[in-house]
Amino acid sequence: MKKILALSIVLLLVCLTAAGCTLIRPKNSATEAATSAPTAPVIAEPTLAPVEAVTSAPVDTTPNGDKKYATVEEYIASDEMKENIASIESAGGDTMTIKVYAEGSSMVYDYMFTETYDAATVAVMKTSLDTSLDTGAETYETTASVIQEQVEEEDVSVTIIYRNGDGSVITQKTFEQ
């Protein structure tokens, strides 16, 4: 039953990929058959294009060169970001919830699976998620730079968090410009 559910999650998230959200790839079946590791969705880095699309427009500054927003929190709460964030947060479907919020000077993308996976499955997921986060590092660092152009706050970063269904953190990483 867990394998069917995990495959269903993978298929759903593949559909989300086509919509520009989270990319999920199923495991290689030959590798999966050769190991006794639990079946888990293998998740690649989330797409952060909505933030980049919004911030690619010219920055409105005051005559003295001040930035448009004082803080990351103010930027996230802005009218120009509300629609993008709502789109991101609705992309999780029935398999995960996605929240975008500010925590200090960091824009946080917080992904929480609706199912709680056992420790062995979480270990497999963590390895895959960590690899995906490392692969996407340049994208996240660029996103932090783009946000920095919009806010006065210093040392802006992007934090990606993946949580199990019980709220425990599977993995997280913060990226700076």
Query: Which one, of 99, 131, 117, lies nearest residue 37 by Cα?
Result: 117
What tens digit of pLDDT does each residue of 15-29 get? 333 233 333 222 333
pLDDT, tens digit, for every residue of 113-168? 999 999 999 999 999 999 999 999 999 999 999 999 999 999 999 999 999 999 99
According to the model, what pLDDT value does residue 6 have?
36
Give me the pLDDT at residue 92, please.
Answer: 87
Tokens matching residue 35 = 């190991």
Instruction: Give the per-residue pLDDT at 40.
Output: 53
Residue ranges in the chain assigned as alpha helix (H): 2-18, 29-34, 49-55, 72-77, 79-89, 119-135, 137-150
Contact 38, 118 (CB under 8 A): yes
Distance CA 158, CA 144 (A): 6
Give the span between the Cα atoms of 154 and 72, in whole angstroms.
Answer: 10
pLDDT (tens digit per residue) in 33-48: 344 444 555 454 444 4
Please tell me the predicted confidence (pLDDT) of residue 51. Answer: 43
Q: What is the pLDDT of residue 118?
A: 96
Cα–Cα distance measured from residue 49 to residue 72, given in angstroms and rounded to the nearest whole number: 17
- Domain boundaries along the sequence of the chain: 47-176
pLDDT at 67: 76
pLDDT greater at residue 83 or residue 19? 83
Best CATH choice for the domain 47-176 from the list 3.90.1690, 3.10.450, 1.10.3470, 3.30.300: 3.30.300
54-58, 83-87, 114-118, 172-176: range with lowest mean pLDDT: 54-58
